[in-house]
Amino acid sequence: MKIAYYNALLNEPWGCGTHGRELVQALRACGHDVLCIPKPLSQDASSLQPKAGRYHWVPAPIRKPAMDARARLRVMRHRARMLNALHEFQPAFVFARRAAYDYSLDSLLADAPSPVVAEVNAVLGNELPNLGGETLLPWETRRERRFLRLAAACVCISDEVAADVKALGVDPGKIVVLSNGVDTVKFSPSISPDPSTRELTGRFSTTIAYAGTLSPVHDMVTLLKAAQEVVRLEPSSGFLFIGVTEDDLLPYGCSPELAQHLVCTGRVDHSRVPSMLACADLSWAAFRSDYVSPLKLFEYLAMGKPVVIAGTGQARDVTLASEGGLVVERGDWRGLGAAAVALMRADPARRATLGENARAWVQANATWERVAQSIVDEVAARLSLTER
């Protein structure tokens, strides 16, 4: 089937871009012909610099208007080229992930030659205020709602996001819930540990890993307090933070004493993450919201080692369904630390069983190919599409 994939953040070298690239590659692996817009898929995202934060230098009172103005200019550059490409390609549907202030996509919605299906990883007008108190410009919130209501279908990444979409007045019959996926070849227990990382973590009796960016959905305060609790109970233990620096962690309460138990890699290419995770005995994360379909959790599970999670929503559901680790309530740093220590002290056979459960679950339920084909099947069924 011919599918156009719209994602203005496709080539970002962080979570949003990683998700998009994995999905495009999985769709192609399933035999589908995929056109990427507004720009083609980069062959080397590791060489790119994140655009997140590019407006931080703009004074706060005019930051959102500046983002809005830039988006209005961008649509002038992309609109004609995108529409020409779509008319030439003639996809069965356009699968579109909307970013904030996305006038290009709004224009596409009006004039695309094929149905536009929304990929909804969050309703930004709800998520941003709930996580950090940030609000969008009023007309941007209205445009986001309009896009979701006019889309031919909405593929939501979690039940919580689907509930937000339904609350906006979207027909429940148009809503599909499909979570994230993972490449179980890239992320595998058979991956060899990264030698330099292994050397750095070798001084710890047990290493607990975190891999990801410092976005508002990740509760780093809870994670660092839990780390202090782990060190108090198990002084020889340590932590591997993949993707962040020690300086990044300072605002969240990283004390000099805790820093002695940390190995921080800084930003690394996503292709290196599996070999670094292979250096850890456990993996963990803490979440500040219910909205997420946490990419890192699926990657943790695929590595075949136990996980410890503080969160609710899909993070909790997936961990429990996989029987691959332990879950505590969101924000419960004492519980998170105690759960990690409990696994550290558990019989090795118990940890091995949890890891095997985790790996088996993602192989059966959450490979990218399974997710990609499920999207196509669900959309085709709802829109009565035929192969083209």
Cis status, amide bond into 216, omega within 30 of 0: no
pLDDT the model gives residue 9: 86
Architecture of the domain whose range is 195-365 = 3-Layer(aba) Sandwich (3.40)
pLDDT surpassing 80 at residue 77: no
CATH number given to 2-181+368-383: 3.40.50.2000
Percent of the chain topping pLDDT 70: 93
The packing angle between helices 138-150 and 103-111, to 10°, is: 30
pLDDT surpassing 70 at residue 158: yes
- Poorest-pLDDT segment among 192-206, 289-303, 344-358: 289-303
**Where in the sequence of the chain do the CATH 3.40.50.2000 domains occur?**
2-181+368-383, 195-365
pLDDT the model gives residue 54: 56
Chain mean pLDDT for the chain: 89
pLDDT the model gives residue 215: 79
Here the tokens at position 120 are 């909804």
Cα atoms in the 13 Å half-sphere on the side-chain side of 3: 27
- Poorest-pLDDT segment among 48-57, 221-230, 333-342: 48-57
pLDDT the model gives residue 217: 85
pLDDT tens per residue, range 116-156: 999 999 898 888 787 777 788 888 899 899 999 999 999 99
Alpha carbon separation from 156 to 87, 97, 101, 115, 292 (Å, rounded): 27, 10, 20, 17, 10
